Amino acid sequence: MAIFGTIQTVRAQTKGRDKNYTVAFDYIAKCAKPGSAAHTLVHNLAPGDSGRVELGGGAFALPQAYMTKAPRESGFFESHLAYVDVQAVISGEEIIEVADTAALQVTENHTPEKDLIKYAMHNTASRLRLRAGDLAVLDPSDAHMPCIAVGEPLLVRKVVIKIPVI
């Protein structure tokens, strides 16, 4: 199941995983550091825009800026087989709902070409509230619905690191 918390907490909980996790956490720290190129990149994105930064070892970062979604039904549950998601909120806050893929009904399977599986909406997921500085590690068994508004929609700046499954 998902691992979540501050970068320090999650780094400690994932100790011993492959080196791409260290690369991911180092990049997230750069995104949070004013004056760094990574911070500038994520903060200069217009709402609705995203980018891609190669991190090596098959891992890459997707800096994003978007308005959170409300109502929750405007989102969807998804999972990935080829990559682990490390989703880090740089500014703003959002809800990410998480559920075990084994308990969900697949509605669309776009693997392997897009590494995306979509699931039917349901109401039994766990809700993670991520604020600036928080992140979640979402393994292939973790269906997740990110980008959900805590209250009214607001601008979130986030980086999603894709780490290849070994």
What is the tens place of the pLDDT at every residue in 106-162?
999 999 999 999 999 999 899 999 999 999 999 999 999 999 999 999 999 999 999
All domains in the chain, ordered by first residue:
3-164 (2.60.120.370)
What is the tens place of the pLDDT at every residue in 68-90?
999 999 999 999 999 999 999 99
* Per-residue model confidence (pLDDT) at position 8: 93
Alpha carbon distance 140, 127 (integer Å): 18
Residue 41 near residue 122, CB atoms below 8 Å: no
* Per-residue model confidence (pLDDT) at position 1: 78
Alpha carbon distance 22, 152 (integer Å): 34
pLDDT score of 166 more than 80: no
* Per-residue model confidence (pLDDT) at position 16: 85
* Per-residue model confidence (pLDDT) at position 106: 97
Alpha carbon distance 5, 66 (integer Å): 21
Residue 98 near residue 165, CB atoms below 8 Å: no
Dmax of the chain from CA atoms? 44
pLDDT mean over 29-36 = 96
Q: Helix, strand, coil % (nearest 5) of the chain?
A: 20, 45, 35
Please compute, for residue 4, the number of CA atoms within 13 A of its CA located in the half-sphere on the CB side: 22
* Per-residue model confidence (pLDDT) at position 143: 97
What's the mean pLDDT when you consider all of the chain? 95
Task: List strands edge to edge, sheet with 53-56.
Answer: 3-6, 134-138, 83-91, 155-164, 59-67, 53-56
* Per-residue model confidence (pLDDT) at position 61: 98
* Per-residue model confidence (pLDDT) at position 21: 94
Q: What single letter denotes the amino acid at residue 80?
A: H
Residue 4 near residue 130, CB atoms below 8 Å: yes
* Per-residue model confidence (pLDDT) at position 20: 93
Alpha carbon distance 5, 111 (integer Å): 29
pLDDT score of 18 more than 90: no
Alpha carbon distance 157, 41 (integer Å): 10
| pLDDT band with cut points at 50, 70 and 90 for residue 37 | very high
Say what percent of the chain tops pLDDT 70: 100
